[in-house]
Structure 1
Amino acid sequence: MAKLRKQHMTIHWHDIIQADSNVPAVDATLKEKATLVGRLGLMMLSVGTGAWRVRNSMNKVSRSLGISCSADIGLVSIECTCIGDNETYTQSLSLPTTGVNTDKLMELEMFMRDFPDLAGEYSVNQFHEVLDHIQKKPANYKAWNLGLASAIACCAFTFLLGGGPVEMICAFFGAGAGNFVRKLMLNRKISLLGNVAVSVATSCIVYVLTILAAQKILDISAVHQAGYICAMLFVIPGFPLITGGIDLAKLDMRSGLERIAYALLIITAATLTGWATAMVFHFQPADFPDLQLPTVTRMLLRIAASFFGVYGFSLMFNSPRKMALTAGLIGMLTNTLRLELIDLAGMPVGIAAFIGAFASGCIASLVKKYIGFPRISLTVPAIVIMVPGLYMYRGIYYMGLNDVSNGALWLTKAVLIVIALPLGLVVARLCTDKNFRHCT
C-alpha cells in the first residue's frame, strides 16, 4: 500500500537559520527573526486561540526583536510581513487542520511572558528548540480518558437540559463511545467531516441500543428516547464559535467569519447525522418528562452538574486537571446563575446567556491575575455548556421534515444564545482589559 503524502509539507525551521550561530536573537538577521515570529504565530493558531491573541503574541515577539510585523490571520493560515533594517520579509504559512489544546496554549503564553527578558541572551536557534519541545509535547490524555470525560460532560449536560437518570445513563454510554471513536480517528488524521459524522453516528447508535436494552430488560418507558440528542453534544464547536465572535468584535473579519463557518460546518454535519440516525430508528425530539424537583434541590443539582459538565469539556480541550478544575468552578457558578435567571426571574434565554458569559469573563480575568491560566482556557469551557446544541439539533430536525415554522423557532432561539455568549465575553474583556478595550 502506497504511503500517503502530506498535503501540507513540513516546514524545517532549523534549516532556515544558521544552526551553529550563537548570536543573540536581537542581533540576528531579519529572515531569522521573521521565522521566529511566524512560527510562534502558527503555533498559537494551531491551539485554537483567536486572531487577536495570535497577533498580540506575534507583536510582542517582534517588539522584543526590534522589528515590526503586519499579519493577516485566518482559521488555518497566516500571511505576515516583518520589517526591519530597511528590509522586508514576507511569509505565507498554513496548518493542515485546526484544533484546541489549552495545555500548549498555556506553555506558549509562558514562553511569550519570558521572551523579552531572554531575547538578548538566547539565539534564534535556541528559541526554536524551546518551541520544538512545546510542539512535540504529547497529549495529556488517552482516547479512553477523553471518552470518559465526554461521558461525564454529556451526562451532566443531559440533566441541565431537563433529562432524568435514565437519559443521563444512556447519554453517558453514547457520548463516551462517540468521543472515544472520534479521538481514534483524529489520531489517524481522518478528515473533519468523516470523524464528526462517524463519531456522532456511534454515539447515537450506542444510545439507541442502550435505551432499547433498558426497555427490553427493565421495562423502561419509550419516553426516555428523547435524550439521544444529548449523547452527541460532545462535538459542539465551542472554541471556534466563541473566538469567532470575539474576532468579529475586534474587526478581524477574515478570522471571525472563517471560524464561524468552520463551526457551522461541524454543527451541520453533526445534526444531519443525528437526524439520519433518528430517521432510521424512528426516534424524534421531544420534551423530557418533568422531574418535579424542589427549587433548592434542583439548584444544588444544577451546581454539581454544571461543575462536572464544564470539567469534562475542559479535559476534552487537553487542559491540565488544575486548569479544568478552575474552569469547572467558574462554570458551576455562572451556568447555575444563567439557569436560575431563566426559571426564577423569567428572563429571556438570550439575556440570561449574556449575563452568564459576562460573569464567566469577569471571574476568569480575576483568576488569571492570581493563577496565571490563559483567560480563554477558562472562559470557553465555562460557557460551552451554555451553547444550545439541543436547539440547533431540533431546528435542523424539523427543517428536514419541512416543518419550517418549528425549525425556524428553534434555530432562532439557538442563534440568539450563540450571539449572546461571545458578546458577554467581549463586554467582560472590554471592562477588564485595557489593551483589548482600545483600537491601536
Structure 2
Amino acid sequence: MPEERPPISEHEYEDQLEPTHLIRRSHVVLRAGTMMLGAGTSALRVREVMSAVARTVGVQQVEAQVTFTQIVLTVGRRGIFRTQVGETRPSVDADRIARLHQFSHELPERERAIDVEARLDAIEHQPRCYPTWLLVTLVALACASVSVLSNGGWREVLAVLPASALAYTAHRALTRLQFNLLAVVLTSAALASALYVGFAALITAVAGAPSPRFAAGFICASIFLIPGFPLVTAGLDLTRLDLDAGVPRLTYAAMVLLAMAIGVWLVASIAGVSPAPVAPNEGHPAIVWTALIAASFFAVFGWATMFNVPLATAVASGVVAVVGNVPRLLLLAADVKPHVATFVGCVIMGLGCAVVAGWFKMTKIIMTVPTLLVSIPGSSALRTLIYFDQADIVSAIESGVSTVLVVVAMVAGLSGARMLTDPEWAFTRPDAKQRG
C-alpha cells in the first residue's frame, strides 16, 4: 500500500501559494528604488534604476508611484502581480546617487536577485567620502566664500569661518540625535547667526570701528542649511509633471527655508542688522575679480563635499560654477535684472554640467545642484525678513518678489539646459532616451 502523506497545514498551504520567485525579485527592485530616492535624486532617476533592476532579474512589468518619501511598486511576471510599498527618510548622499546610477548601467542582461542584493549591500555600506574634520573645514570655507560673493570684506570672512564651522558641527550632532528636523534647522540658523554677531564684535573691538559690510556676511554663516537638493530636484520633478514627488519635495524645501529664516530673523531683530544693500567691493579690478572667481569655486566645492560628492566631481562642479557665475556677475554689474542674470548664468552652468559629465562619465545631477547654489539670493531673502520686521511692507514685498524670481530663474535655467541636452526631459515619449 502507498504510504499516506501527512496532511498539509493551513499555513503551509498558504506558503505554497505564495509566488516566492516574484517576492524576491519585487524586494530587490523596491530596495534599489528606495536607496535612490533616499539619496535625494529626482523621481525620473528612481524609476530608471528600478526599471534596470527589474529587467535584470526577469520582471516583465513594472509600475511605480514615486513620491518624496515613498514608493508604491507593482510588478508582474508570468501572469502574477504583486504590490509592495517602500518608505525612506529625506536625506542627501550624492556619492550613493552616482554609484547607483553606475550600478544600473553596468547590470548584466540577466542576474539572480541574490546577486543584485549583494551589489546593493556594497553600495549601502560604502563609507562617506570625507572625514568630519575636513567636511567642517570645507563647509566653513564655502560659507565664507559666499560672503565674498555677497560683497563682504575680510572682516566678514573671518567672522563667518568660525561661526559656520561651529554651527555646522552642532547641526550634525543634533541631526544624529534625530531631533525634529525643523527645530534643528531653526536652532542651527539662530546659532550660526548669533556666533557671527559675536565674532564680528570681537573683530570690531580689535579693529576699532564697525564694518560697513556687516550685513553681507550675516546670512552666509547659516547658508549651509539651504535645502539645495530638494529645491532643485523639486523643480526638475515639476518640470516633468511628476507632481507626486515634486509638490511634497517643494513643500519640504519651503518648510526648511522658513525654519531657517525664522532662526536668522530672531537674531537679526535683536542685533539690529541693517537691511540696506551692501555696495560691491572696491579695489583693483584684477584683485576683486580674482577674489570673486576663487569664491565662486570654493563656495560650490564646499557645498559639493557637504552633499558627499566625490572629489573629482566636486572639482568639476567648482570649475563649471566659475564659468557660469562670471557672466552672471558681469550682467549684474551692467544693471541687468537679477533674475535675468541668474537665468543666463544657470543655463550656462546647466549646459556646462551636461558637457563635462558626458566627457568624464560623471552623474549630472550631483554636479548640477551644488553648482547652481552659487546663485542663491541669500542677501535679498535676509532683507525681506528685516523689512517685514520693521513693518516696511512695500520694501519687503519688492525684496520678496525679487528673491522668488531669482529662485524660479535658477530652476528654469537648469530645466532649459536639461531639455537642450537630455531627450528624457525634452520629450514625454517613453522611448525618448533611445531616440536621443
Shared fold (TM-score greater than 0.5)? yes
Asked if 2 retains the 8 angstrom alpha-carbon contact of 1:146 and 1:183, the reply is no
1:155 equivalent in structure 2: 144
1:367 equivalent in structure 2: 356
Do structure 1's residue 44 and structure 2's residue 33 form an aligned pair? Answer: no
Structure 1 residue 40 displacement after superposition: 0.8
Do structure 1's residue 341 and structure 2's residue 334 form an aligned pair? Answer: no
1:288 equivalent in structure 2: 278
Question: 1:253-309: CA deviations, max 9, x gaps?
Answer: 121111111111111101111111122333343333542234444333211110111
Do structure 1's residue 109 and structure 2's residue 98 form an aligned pair? Answer: no
Asked if 1 retains the 8 angstrom alpha-carbon contact of 2:49 and 2:100, the reply is no
Question: 1:138-163: CA deviations, max 9, x gaps?
Answer: 22234332221221111111111111
1:328 equivalent in structure 2: 318
Paired residues for 1:257-406 under 5 Å? 257-344=247-334, 346-406=335-395
Do structure 1's residue 132 and structure 2's residue 121 form an aligned pair? Answer: yes
Q: Alignment length, in residue pairs?
A: 410
2:397 alignment partner AA: A
Percent of aligned pairs with the same residue?
A: 28
Q: Quick one: distance in 1 between partners of 2:180 and 2:128?
A: 19
Cα 1:165/1:409, change in 2 over 3 Å: same
Q: Quick one: distance in 2 between partners of 1:337 and 1:238?
A: 22
Asked if 2 retains the 8 angstrom alpha-carbon contact of 1:154 and 1:172, the reply is yes
Question: 1:66-112: CA deviations, max 9, x gaps?
Answer: 422111111111112112211211111111x2111111111111110
Structure 1 residue 188 displacement after superposition: 2.2
1:89 equivalent in structure 2: 82
Find the partner of 1:56 among 34, 48, 52: 48
Find the partner of 1:190 among 166, 179, 196: 179
Question: 1:218-260: CA deviations, max 9, x gaps?
Answer: 3131534312222111111111111111111100012111111
Q: Quick one: distance in 2 between partners of 1:146 and 1:405?
A: 41
Do structure 1's residue 80 and structure 2's residue 73 form an aligned pair? Answer: yes
2:420 alignment partner AA: C
1:350 alignment partner AA: H
Q: Quick one: distance in 2 between partners of 1:106 and 1:141?
A: 16
Moved more, 30-39 or 260-269: 30-39
Structure 1 residue 28 displacement after superposition: 8.1
Structure 1 residue 31 displacement after superposition: 1.9
Structure 1 residue 403 displacement after superposition: 2.2
Tell me, which stretches of 5 or more residues in structure 2 are unaligned? 1-18, 430-436
2:10 equivalent in structure 1: none
1:426 equivalent in structure 2: 415
Asked if 1 retains the 8 angstrom alpha-carbon contact of 2:171 and 2:185, the reply is yes
Find the partner of 1:143 among 132, 137, 149: 132
Q: Quick one: distance in 2 between partners of 1:368 and 1:168?
A: 32
Asked if 2 retains the 8 angstrom alpha-carbon contact of 1:156 and 1:309, the reply is yes
Question: 1:184-229: CA deviations, max 9, x gaps?
Answer: 2222222311221221122112111111111223313153431222
Question: 1:117-138: CA deviations, max 9, x gaps?
Answer: 1x52x32112112211211222
2:266 alignment partner AA: A
Moved more, 377-386 or 362-371: 362-371
Asked if 2 retains the 8 angstrom alpha-carbon contact of 1:151 and 1:176, the reply is yes
Do structure 1's residue 235 and structure 2's residue 235 form an aligned pair? Answer: no
1:93 alignment partner AA: G
Query: Highest Rg: 1 or 2?
Result: 2
Asked if 1 retains the 8 angstrom alpha-carbon contact of 2:52 and 2:104, the reply is yes
TM-score (norm 1): 0.89
Stretches (4+) displaced over 4 A: none
2:21 equivalent in structure 1: 29
1:9 equivalent in structure 2: none
1:216 alignment partner AA: A
Q: Quick one: distance in 2 between partners of 1:212 and 1:300?
A: 28
TM-score (norm 2): 0.89
Q: Quick one: distance in 2 between partners of 1:434 and 1:180?
A: 41
Asked if 2 retains the 8 angstrom alpha-carbon contact of 1:143 and 1:183, the reply is no
Question: 1:396-434: CA deviations, max 9, x gaps?
Answer: 232233322111111111111111111111111111112
Tell me, which stretches of 5 or more residues in structure 1 are unaligned? 1-26
2:316 alignment partner AA: T
